[in-house]
Structure 1
């Protein structure tokens, strides 16, 4: 059972910091926090994403580009312009790395106020960091896996952030329902988002990009927003609107 517990903790822990920090803070700045809290969140993101660590700067800039160019040839990830999910994710990886390593020139509107901690990103994004995390996962499985089928979860853990990306950037542009007519194919993947902590309300988000609560209808509970409200009351963050 320890393997299952690890999978659940890393799935929801990594996903929380992706949607809370990288998405709602770095990309959309729906709330503010102190520099100290920001740095603590960087470290927590690395601890929970591990081998999947994503830079707030690289993610934030790329996600802004996704909103600006959704479902066009300039979109970093779109089922409309990629033959299959693997090609889309490969292109996403290349765009992300080009941005993060500043190999391409990016319009200022995409980079304005996006947080960046260069020294930490270099360490957390390094090959050494990713290999160490992967080795730790393998050691955990060697210690606690009690059946062969549990090893099938290892690649999910190692590649968890890309898997999260596939679910939203591919499937939430193909399947689901819409609450709002928008200029792209974004859909709400699940009527009750038990899987993606609010990220599955993708159509809602594309309509109201700066809204901290991704849920709109009565049944669209956004667990990340619920946690954010608690953090806001505690003074850890402050909502912009």
Structure 2
């Protein structure tokens, strides 16, 4: 069997990826599909950290959030990411994947706190580490948490799982002539004003020389192809 190109990666999952065709919440079929994709790479011996968003749960209370203080709303969103992390961990357990959830917020009755050294040890033991609660601070997105945790654990790449199979010259849904970039530099992506990640996360990845691959989590086998170094998604590099 061909060896994977990357040994340690950080996967960024949006909360919306768990919704499937539902309006909000967690779609069991979609959750199972994502876990199967993850298992396909952990079976190769790849060390995997996961940062997950909370938009699928938080949007369910979006109506009540109108006019809410930004910091309060962000803390609510962090709690939503912990809920998603717990659901993902349980689904992994049922699939035979050994996973641990670490939270940037201190809620030890539910999940253990984030400790960098322990997270790295878990990865070395072959466990998947799911990082919940973002960075633990308001005003920072889970994109920034992915860039931060990826840098801290020594990941070789941040994989951003989206609904689109890469970065395009234009919105492929609106422009049928839009073409996908196979590779693009950080500087060119900035110059073209391409929305890869939020600005803080993007700048951190660039400064740490941590490449990003944007790919579709809905495309069967895409995660494994990225890990194997095949032409899948779009690679953003220094």
TM range (shorter): 0.3 to 0.5
Scaled by the length of structure 2, the TM-score of the pair is: 0.32
The structure richer in helix per residue is 1
The structure richer in strand per residue is 2
Scaled by the length of structure 1, the TM-score of the pair is: 0.32
